[in-house]
Amino acid sequence: MKKIVMLRKHIFSSIPATVFLLLIGFVLLWGLPLAIEWGVIKATWTGTSTKDCHTGGACWAMIHARWDQFMYGFYPSDERWRVDAALGLLGVAMIACGILRYRLYIKVLMMIGVMLFVVFLLYGGAGLSIVATNKWGGLFLTIILSFGAIACALPIALMLALGRNSSLMIIKGLCISAIELIRGVPLISILFMASVMLPLFFPQEIVIDKLLRAFIAITLFQAAYLAEVARGGLNSLPVGQQEAAYALGMGYWQTMILVILPQALRVVIPGMVNSFIALFKDTTLVLMIGLFDFLGIVQSATTDPRWLGTALEGYIFCAFVYWLFCFSMSMYSKYLEHKLKVKSF
């Protein structure tokens, strides 16, 4: 009886809500069997071209045939073990950051160190063959750009947030100008400036890699948004926290690192993860400057004469992969909130 009352109170609370729920149920009952029939029962899973897809269902054979390119881009096939090792190392480092009970700044420094080693492993040198960045692509490029930018943007964002709250007017003004200037410009404009305009300010002898320029642009863009999220956490704390730390003889940096920042960042976990999810999806914009990330590789595959007409399957697969990563980050955010007992308002 209680369950019926709860259903009526929360789901069938009004006539519009009931009608909307019934419409959703009708669409699911009508559309779900058709989707299963098209995407699973009548689907073609293997093949070498669209000529093999003649069952009237989805042509997933394109995904199977292009799987390696979707994952590795144009990376040489005999060197792809380096990509696997780099992504495995990155995954282990992220799990370690979640398990080990170290200070936040230690975890950030550890992630930056791991990212530098990952870049060395992917690019080569010191006995490893050089793989130019124009051969990087696919899902691994999306992961490197997004998670690398997150690791590098977080310390920059904290410095900007602290600078914006500083009592020194020069530092405060510079931080406000940097944050508002970057936040007021779309990411695609910053990427175009980094790709096209920045080389014009350097001599012809100095060539900065396009991927590095894009990475710096994405990092600065993300840092500006994270700085405002962190500033919200800083402003949410009572002044007495900082005054109590000073009364115990702590200096400014000791107070910030040991007292203020751990509390402030715990409060803004949802906002930070929201920014991380947005960044992961925004990396698709690097396609506009000639870098083939995961979405770019999928788009190029659908224009192959052998796979014409498979764009729908390609975009469904791409959307599922992006959803999987974003949903995982969202679930990890909920786990952290529960673990750290973050209050919901």
Q: Which one is predicted more confidently, 18 or 145?
A: 145
CA–CA gap between residue 87 and residue 305 (Å, rounded): 32
Residue pair 50/306 in contact (Cβ under 8 Å)? The answer is yes
Segment 213-267, tens digit of pLDDT: 888 889 999 999 999 888 888 888 888 877 888 888 888 888 888 888 888 888 8
State mean pLDDT over 175-193. 88
Segment 269-306, tens digit of pLDDT: 888 888 889 889 888 888 888 888 888 888 888 888 88
For 174, list phi and psi in degrees, rounded to 5.
-65, -40
Question: Residue 345's pLDDT band (boundaries 50, 70, 90)?
Answer: very low
Residue pair 326/277 in contact (Cβ under 8 Å)? The answer is yes
Determine the topology of domain 61-340 in CATH: MetI-like fold (1.10.3720)
The highest-confidence range among 33-37, 193-197, 264-268, 280-284, by mean pLDDT, is 280-284
Residue extents of the structural domains in the chain: 2-41, 61-340
Per the confidence metrics, is the pTM higher than 0.85? Answer: no
SS3 of 171, please? helix
Query: In this structure, what token pair is assigned to residue 201?
Result: 């300010």
Residue pair 123/200 in contact (Cβ under 8 Å)? The answer is no
What value does the mean pLDDT of the chain take? 82
Please report which residue ranges of 43-185 form alpha helices under DSSP H. 61-65, 67-72, 80-99, 104-123, 138-164, 169-183
